[in-house]
Amino acid sequence: QSSRLLEAQARLVTNQRSRLAVARTMYSMRFREEEDTAGLSMQQLRGREGARVKRVYRAHAARTGVEWSRRDYDVHDFASASIVNQALSAANTSLYGVVHAVIV
């Protein structure tokens, strides 16, 4: 019933310094034992997140026995991707759709 939190988020994200501070804080909350994020740039944070996601994909593939090589897809040719990559792309698109619907 209030846009107070959305307005606060918009203020933080539109300032480069506060945006980086928020990203560092969120990363450190999510990955407490992994590393200190105090001196990392936004690009370094994104790189750490990318590496973490790759580890998660590999670990779950090994746990479930699903054949996995890498995340690979062509946005212009959905059918050319492996079944696993198609499923990940479809799930990601669906999630974005649901989030967009909720926001709108």
The pTM assigned to this predicted structure is 0.68
Q: Judge contact between 72 and 85, C-beta under 8 A.
A: yes
pLDDT tens over the chain, length 104 residues: 788 998 998 999 899 999 999 999 888 887 777 778 888 899 999 998 898 889 999 999 999 999 888 888 888 999 999 999 999 999 999 999 999 999 88
Cα 82 to Cα 74: distance, rounded to the nearest angstrom? 11
Cα 13 to Cα 73: distance, rounded to the nearest angstrom? 30
Q: What is the pLDDT of residue 29?
A: 85
Q: What is the pLDDT of residue 78?
A: 92
